[in-house]
Structure 1
């Protein structure tokens, strides 16, 4: 699965009062913490995610995984590409960091996903159509920002 071939879903961004190295560290720690909780593993099993457990190197590197996601491209302090798949979707979450000024960074999170078939379409309506994805992404970016600042 190549993330560029997946349909664009949305992008969220936030400016963080910290350098890209600090934001990167916060991004990795927050992702590990958020997606390594028992609820994430349970959900990953329920929908049939390919990756259901925490595995691979830490700090995050290519091949690192947690429920629902596997790191497929890692450029520390610049870009992290996570991919995943389950019964209803193939998806990618791409984090990009950029320096925007002294002690300031922008963190962008781009979501891409395909939802094949009737079940995929229903799942898309539940996750994207209800606004749940937007709420989850905003919470995740806020948690990263709080941890970095």
Structure 2
């Protein structure tokens, strides 16, 4: 996702979006899935902090945000990388997940097979761009 702003502007926009209500799962939903971590540490997005359903495994300001988590159906990782380019920043997202058992396969079909995950990640990236570009 191209963003017409430097990484120094995009990074705070990214951290605002991942701590905002549109990104985080509700604590009730997290409890239903037995997500870990189930609560946010309500601290800045730094290595070791938690968001509902995610642990900040690596936070390199203006470069990389790696979020990991697990619940009863899968273990997952979301990597958000920032790369400076001539006219701003490119923000990219990669997801890695392992789904366990028959229930995990069904959950994978529901979330991945339906395209819901792609839609959610695209919304996150668009929100980062909008925030960083001041729109």
TM-score range, shorter chain: over 0.9
Q: After the TM superposition, which residues 1-149 of structure 1 pair with which residues of structure 2 at under 5 Å, given as runs?
A: 14-33=1-20, 34-36=22-24, 40-55=26-41, 57-58=43-44, 60-102=45-87, 104-149=88-133
TM-score (norm: length of structure 1): 0.85
Q: Distance in 1 between matches of 2:80 and 2:120?
A: 15
Structure 2 spans left out of the alignment, 5+ residues = none
Structure 1 spans left out of the alignment, 5+ residues = 1-13
TM-score (norm: length of structure 2): 0.93
Segments of 4+ moved more than 3 angstroms? none
Q: Which of 1 and 2 has higher RCO (CA within 8 Å, sep 6+)?
A: 1
* Post-superposition offset of 1:56: 5.7
* Post-superposition offset of 1:35: 3.6
How many residue pairs end up in the alignment? 132
